[in-house]
Structure 1
């Protein structure tokens, strides 16, 4: 299925050629599930409508979004479209670090392969830099078929999650700059030869034993690198992980908290979806997931939702919303696992 993309110029820089990465990823992305033209058109229309319908319940439940302008319509894309948009977003995040010269091609090849793999897993994404909400139609169809859940309910449920991200960044635009700053700090050692970087990762992996193997699976390469980073880079990584955990956990809380009045099958969808997350994939996929930090993403949903559930249960949504007031109100990684500590520090 092909969904039109806008002709936007891709940023150029020196470290990774993101334009090249987008081309590689688009070529390597696997086709989505088979469907007729009519079915494809129907999915696109229903997802776009579901994104519009999700806006009001998200605003009502969270208490966020008052006074903000109506958002742009969601863009429904295929896997190739997501790869292209993700490459642009990554270039934005890294300050236009890309490259039209041959020096950026090897890293662009690797980045493109990564985007191709992820393109079959992402259901939707909000890009805070372009302020666009993307919904990946073939992946939504693949998952709802696998789960055997009501399609209208599942599509709205997915949109509730992604629209929550849009509302989060509209309420707290400082988060986009925090992401850029942390990314710049993480890339402070970008001049290190790739061979040395890989050597450090291999050394850390070799030394992991017992419970540390589980840690590697949960945190991916970023978690392994933390042990060899400078203090500044460790702090930057922690801020990124804490922010990601908060955002994903809050969105998961919202998509469930709206209840059956909005999504009648919400309970059965959540059970089926969580069972799918826990299912083991084949060994090759497990290695790739660990290396890309996909399992870390899954852990973010679990830990983040538990944090939000606990805080909202104890102090209510209005008090919880202090978290969007500025960087100092954001929970630390330690506070994610200790909500009372965040309540005591931020709410007094």
Structure 2
């Protein structure tokens, strides 16, 4: 099924509605607190931009776009609209009942994700000023996490904004990134892949190898392996490209969060320590399964592995030389280079 078929099979408006119904309620807060955190996040997003530009050496001039602070339902609606645009969907799905069923399923998944996401930069949408890309900050989740971690709200809000604004800088300074992602996504959703016989054969081979590996366990890597087992060679390459790029982008943003340092975020060491502890906490089996199916645990791995790569390269050659990574697709790290940064340095620099 092509991405166009997927887009037309889902009633995206219904997905947003169902997601809004199912979204967990926001943590309790007064109107004063709500207004304060919203205003603070707008301010922090503006304050983060020059700090990110200084640390990264990217986008030294130019206007600072305004972020958009949203609640969980608003994030779900924005995510559904972004997915509709990416998949070529329309306001009217191909079938009423099937469109509502697919919309309900999509909305339920978005509702699950909506309670954990602090912010998101969407490079594929258009902001109210007509510029490509929109930065969303989900204020109920920011409040929930800062309370859970017992950290200084002002510091935590700026720290979160540093990560998300870094993504905005990455894409605005390097516009080829969005096209690179779109091309890889198009390959992944292509309907010109292998026939059913080839898929079944690859799946059988994969399951046999898993059976023979006594150490194999279900989880993000196992599910990713299952996905790869039924893909064509081109789709596997595209998946590797997206995973490696995501690892770089997330690791770079995490590096910037900490590199800005205590001069701007006085309690940055405490925030990082408690945030990492939160990431490592065990979860109920059903939640672990949902996170694995949605790729959320794989995304957490991207943060850790990507930050280790960026930290190592910047430590050895400095940020200016590291920025060669943004020259084009050919200078992006290869999957093996993420694990061995010196190999990227030797090849590119």
TM-score by length of 1: 0.88
Residue matched to 2:116: 121
2:86–2:124 contact (8 Å) kept in structure 1: yes
Q: Which of 66, 71, 76 is matched with 2:69 structurally?
A: 76
- Residue pair 1:93, 1:179 contacting (<8 A) in 2 also: no
The reply to whether residue 91 of structure 1 matches residue 84 of structure 2 is yes
Specify the alignment match of 1:334 in structure 2: 336
C-alpha spacing 1:18/1:190, structure 2 compared with 1 (3 Å)? farther
Matches within 5 A, 1:35-46: 35-46=29-40
What secondary structure, in the 3-state scheme, does the structure 2 residue paired with 1:14 have? helix
- Aligned-residue offset at 1:202: 11
Q: 322-331 or 116-125, which moves further after superposition?
A: 322-331
For these two proteins, the number of residue pairs brought into alignment is: 332
Please name the residue that 1:167 is paired with. 169
Q: Contact 2:72/2:138 (CA < 8 Å) preserved in 1?
A: yes
Q: Measure how far apart 1:161 and its partner are.
A: 0.2
Counterpart residue number, 2:129: none
Residue in 2 that maps onto 1:3:
none
Alignment-derived partner of residue 273 in structure 2: 271
Name the residue aligned to 2:94. 101
Kindly tell me: are residues 70 and 338 of structure 1, through their superposed partners in 2, closer, same or farther at Cα, counting changes over 3 Å? same
Aligned partner of 1:57 among 51, 54, 59: 51
Q: 1:7: which partner in 2?
A: none
Cα distance change, pair 205–160 in 1 and its aligned pair in 2 (3 A): farther
Q: Deviations over 1:277-327 (max 9, x none)?
A: 000011111111111111101000000000000000111100110111111
How do 1:216-295 residues align onto structure 2 when only pairs under 5 Å count?
216-219=218-221, 221-295=223-297
The residue number in structure 2 matching 1:112 is 107
8 Å contact from structure 2 (residues 84, 90) kept in 1: yes
RMSD of aligned Cα (Å): 2.7
What are structure 1's unaligned runs of at least 5 residues? 1-11
Structure 1: distance between partners of 2:270 and 2:203:
41
Counterpart CA distance in 2 for 1:331 and 1:116 is: 34
Q: Is the 8 A contact 1:201 1:221 kept in 2?
A: no
**1:222, distance to aligned residue in structure 2 (A):** 4.0
Contact 1:335 1:342 in 2 (8 A): yes
Q: TM-score, normalised by structure 2?
A: 0.88
Which has the higher mean CA deviation after the structures are superposed, 200-209 or 104-113?
A: 200-209
Residue deviations 1:56-97 (CA, integer Å, cap 9, x gap): 110000000124x31321110000011111112222333447
SS in 2 for 1:73: coil
State the 1:184 CA deviation: 1.2
**Conservation of the 8 A alpha-carbon contact between 2:9 and 2:93:** no
Instruction: Give 1:156 shift.
Output: 0.3
Confirm or deny: 8 A CA contact 1:25 1:116 kept in the other structure: yes
